[in-house]
Structures are given as C-alpha cells and as structure tokens.
Chain A
C-alpha cells in the first residue's frame, strides 16, 4: 500500500513539475514585452536583435522552444545565463547550498522555540502563562518574515549591533572550503572560528524566517496536546503518578507528532519560499537573492532554472513528509 501511494505521489510530483515548467515558460514568453529588447540596451540595431533572438532560440515557435528547453532540462542542461554568461545548472547548484543551510537552520530554530512553548502551554493550560503564549504566537504569526527581518535589523544591527546583518560570511576571511556547504564543512573541518562567523551572519535571517513557523508549531502542537490530555489513557498515566510534564512528554508528544509533522512539512516549503526576500534583505548570497537579480536582469534561462529548482525542492519535501507520515502512522503501516 505504501508502495502504491509512493508511486502515485511520484507521478503527481512529475505532473506538478511539468505544470510549473509550462507556467513559467508561458508567463515569461507570452506576456507583453519582448525579452530580447529587454535584454539589450535601448537603441540596439535590428541585426543585433535578430542575432540574439536566434542565439536563444526565440525565433522558433513557443512549443518548439519549450520542447528544446525541456529536452535540455531532462538531460541536465538548463541553458546558459544571459547576464552571468555561465551554465545555469552550475550557478544554481553553487547557490543552493547557502539557501539550504539557511532554511534548515531556520527550521531548527523554529522547532527549538516552538516545541518547548507548546509543551509549556499545554502544561499550564488555562493560566496566564498559556494566555501569554497565545498572544505571542498571534503576533509572531501575523507578522511575515519580511517585516521580522527589518525589525531584527533595527534591533540587533543598529540598536545593539551584536549580529551581522549583511552577507553570508565576513569577506576578509580565507575560506578553505571545497563545497558550498560552508557551515557544514566548517564543522567537519573543525574550523569553529568560521562556524561562529557563519552562524553570526546566518542567525538574523534565519530567525526572521523561523519566528512565524515557531508560532505555528507552538500553536498547533499545543492544541493537539491539550486535546490528547483529556483522553482516558492520559488520565490513566496521571493517575499512575507521572507528573504533568512527564505525561506530556511520554504519552502526548508521540501522538501529537504526526499532525505536527505534516504541518511542519508544508510550512517548511513556505519558509523556503520566504528565503527569496529575506536573503535580499540581508544581502545573503543564496538562490533567492540570485533569483531577484535574474528577474531584474531579464535573465530568462536563469529564472526558469531557479524556479524549477525551487519547485523541485517543494515537491520533494512534500513527498518526504508524506512518506514519513505513512511510515510513522501505525494505522497506515498495517492498513
């Protein structure tokens, strides 16, 4: 049953990616405005325009262009960036690690803040502590990552300048890295001075991304814990003499984990979507920052490549969450 489910999900995933590819392609090309004239400085000659048009295959029909591009993509060839004159795949893979590290760090912060708050709120249900957590959650949730980023820049970049608010790593440092997973590699190479520098840069944007997610985790997990706590076996555990916190941690978390997992999966994709603007805000050299440059420079091949990579990331995360859910859920496992 899990196999069949996975297969269906895989097919849906491919269909979704195909749909994304079609939409980006159509949006970029059918919309008013000629991409070539946008690429060239004003006053370029007709010959220049035609030459460029042929170079990027824009003289062919839309369907032909799409087939050519898609064939390339299937073979791992995303084309050449117009503004950076480099292979799109290479550019994207060069930036992706920075965005992945930022997103995962943000996810860890969100879990580290959200989980304890949920347990605390469930234990102190009905008290002022819970009410306080609810208010904090409400505020954290309503304010999007973009605004949190600005607030953090003001608080910790200007008022109390303790964290870096620009870039991924101090530019004067010598980086001995062979991959672009700087943070990961700095830990593996035991260069903790670099780890600290990287984290110092990453903390502010990651926190901006993490706060709304932390609030969602705290709110939903608290709610499911509170519902679980009224069930008989929880009451039973309490009668057996376990403390409230023990009951929540031993019996509650295990059962509340599944719905939270599904939610965190979906929300994590939203968080990654948020990196686009947050990276811009903190001049963090990730995929999202490059994406905005690509749009501003009308770099069609690069835009297509980046959007497709984001979409791939999203559907893979959803697939993983879905499979994890199926594996962890005892009712589905034996069904």
Chain B
C-alpha cells in the first residue's frame, strides 16, 4: 500500500494547463495598458456591434468585435480580468483566513467554541448565498471593496465547515496526544501538528473559492450591483450581451468563455495543488 503510493510522481497536466491559463490572463490583466489594443471605455457609435475577425463585416484591429456602444471587446475582457482577479484574490483570501481560523478552533478545541461557531454556520447556511451577496452589496454601496467584503462575509463558511471536520479528526490522532504529553500547549499543537495536515485541503478550497469569487462578482455585475457601470467587468459584459443576444451573439460568448475557462482552471488548479502538497499522496 505504502509502496504503491511511492510510485514515480505523474506529471499533472491539469495542474499545468489550468495554472498556465490563469497565469496568462493574470499577466494580461496586470499589463492591460500594454496588451489591450484599444481603450476599453472608448465608445464609437460608427463601430457598434462589429463581429469578430472571422465573420464578414469585421473591422481589422477589433479582433473579437465590439459591443452596442462600439467598445472593443478584447480590450474590455483584458481590463475586466483586473477586477476579476482583484476580487478573486482579496475575497478568497479574506474568506479563507476567517473561515479556516474559526474552523480550526472549533474543530480542535471543541466544546463551547465549536457550539458557537457551528450555530453561526447553521444560520449562514440558511441564507440563499446569491441573495445575501446582492443584499450586502446593496447595503454597503457598490464598489470593489463592497464586493470583496460581501463575498468574504458569505463564503467563510465554506472553509469553516471543511476545516472544522478535518481538524476534528486530526485532534483524535495519537501524535496530537503525544505532543500533549511532551508538554506542548494547545495553541502550539493546533498550529504545528493539526494545521499542516489540514493545509492541503485549505489550499484546494482557496483556489476553488477564487473561482467562485469571480462568478459572484460576475453575478453582481450582471444585476448591476458590482463596480460602477462604466468599468469593464465580465459580468457587466454578460449583462450587456444578454440584452443584445439576438443581434450580436459575440458580446455574450467571449466573456462567457472567459468565465468558464477561469472557473474550471481555478478548480482544477486547486485539486492539482492539493495532491502536490499532500505528503501522503505525493
């Protein structure tokens, strides 16, 4: 059994494919002013609803066509990646820190800490998350920080539930008892013995959550509640595309493809990282 696991490590194509895609759009987003062919906000009503380059009627230089205001779709996608990634990283990390910390404490210490945390999680689980997010952003006011706060406030439970369960099973392990006997404090044991065993799961969840955050941001933009309506966001582009779907399908298709590939990549990247970080699976 142990020998079977020690087989030579398989190269993990999904880790590289997913990571590669994420890296490409991350770099494009960072260097958007250099990469984007046009100003994402520049409107030109002479150029409205230009189709992508392979369709007749396309205008050279507007590779993916334009929307109903004549804005270049490719440039808007690239700039939209900035907001998507900002939200993905900030919101997912915030949710991860809060949720993992509470889950670790609840799972390892048990008792009252666990009862309180579990009750709060129960209450949170009784909210429809999308409605909760929309409500929070409406209350906090639109803007990047509101979106990030809303996602973190809602999604910490994802981390909390999983980490709590894992910490609970870790707490029963003999090496935790050994550390007690040796005289280590509870906090010390939690961080040194329990946390490393939960970490691969946390990392996988973190990556998954980044994908979810991108979607939630898109949903919020879609209902017109995310960032200001002028800034290019993938969700805002989708909302626009949904309206003009019968006149210009490409306005919806390209941001949709971006979203799907990005979400898939985040979840696959997380799974790949998990097996990479887990010494037993490695």
Contacts and interface: CB of A to CB of B under 8 A. Distances in A.
A150 interface: yes
A269 B119 CA distance: 18
Given A32-B140, A142-B264, A147-B259, A288 B131 contact: yes
Interface stretch (B74-82, B164-172, B185-193, B246-254): B246-254
Contacts of A139: 264
B246 A150 contact: no
Contacts of B136: 27
A39 interface: no
Contact of B126 (A146, A158, A281, A314): A314
Contact of B256 (A16, A150, A276): A150
Contacts of B246: 158
Contacts of B23: none
A162 to B, nearest CB: 15
Interface in A146-178: 146-147, 150-151, 153-154, 157-158
A298 interface: yes
Most buried by A among B125, B129, B222, B268: B125
B215 interface: yes
B245 A16 contact: no
Interface in B185-229: 211-212, 215, 218-219, 222-225
B135 A280 contact: no
A315 to B, nearest CB: 6
A15 B119 contact: yes
Interface of B is mostly: helix
B268 to A, nearest CB: 7
B263 A281 contact: no
Contacts of A12: 122
Contacts of B97: none
B83 interface: no
A277 B136 CA distance: 15
A292 B141 contact: no
A288 B252 CA distance: 23
Contacts of A24: 135
Contacts of A153: 242, 245, 252
A17 interface: yes
A24 B125 CA distance: 13
A147 B238 CA distance: 10
Contacts of A144: 212, 215, 263
Interface residues of A, number: 49
Nearest to B220: A277
Given A272-B128, A311-B127, A142 B211 contact: yes
A119 interface: no
A273 B129 contact: yes
* Interface size grouping (class) on chain B: 35 or more
Contact of A303 (B126, B135, B219): B135
A328 interface: no
Nearest to A278: B130
Contacts of B260: 143, 147, 151
Most A Cβ at <10 Å: residue of B131, B211, B259: B131
Given A20-B123, A142-B211, A310-B127, A33 B141 contact: yes
B221 to A, nearest CB: 11
Contacts of A281: 222, 242
A292 B128 CA distance: 12
Interface string A184-213: 000000000000000000000000000000
B109 to A, nearest CB: 21
A16 B122 contact: yes
A138 B18 CA distance: 14
A28 interface: yes
A150 B238 contact: yes
A265 interface: no
A314 B125 contact: yes
Interface string B36-74: 000000000000000000000000000000000000000
Contacts of B218: 146
A307 interface: yes
B267 interface: yes
A118 B215 CA distance: 28
A138 B264 CA distance: 9
Contacts of B242: 150, 153, 281
B2 interface: no
Contacts of B211: 142
Contact of A150 (B129, B132, B223, B252): B252
A36 B256 CA distance: 38
Contact of A273 (B128, B138, B141, B222): B128
Contact of A276 (B130, B224, B225): B130
B7 interface: no
A292 B134 contact: yes
A23 interface: yes
A147 B249 contact: no
A-B residue pairs, 4 tightest by C-beta = A19-B123, A273-B128, A311-B126, A31-B139
Interface of B: 119-120, 122-123, 125-132, 134-136, 138-141, 211-212, 215, 218-219, 222-225, 238, 242, 245-246, 249, 252-253, 256, 259-260, 263-264, 267-268
Given A19-B120, A154-B245, A269-B125, 15 more contacts: A17-B126, A19-B122, A20-B127, A142-B267, A146-B219, A151-B260, A158-B245, A272-B128, A273-B128, A273-B129, A276-B134, A295-B131, A295-B134, A296-B225, A311-B127
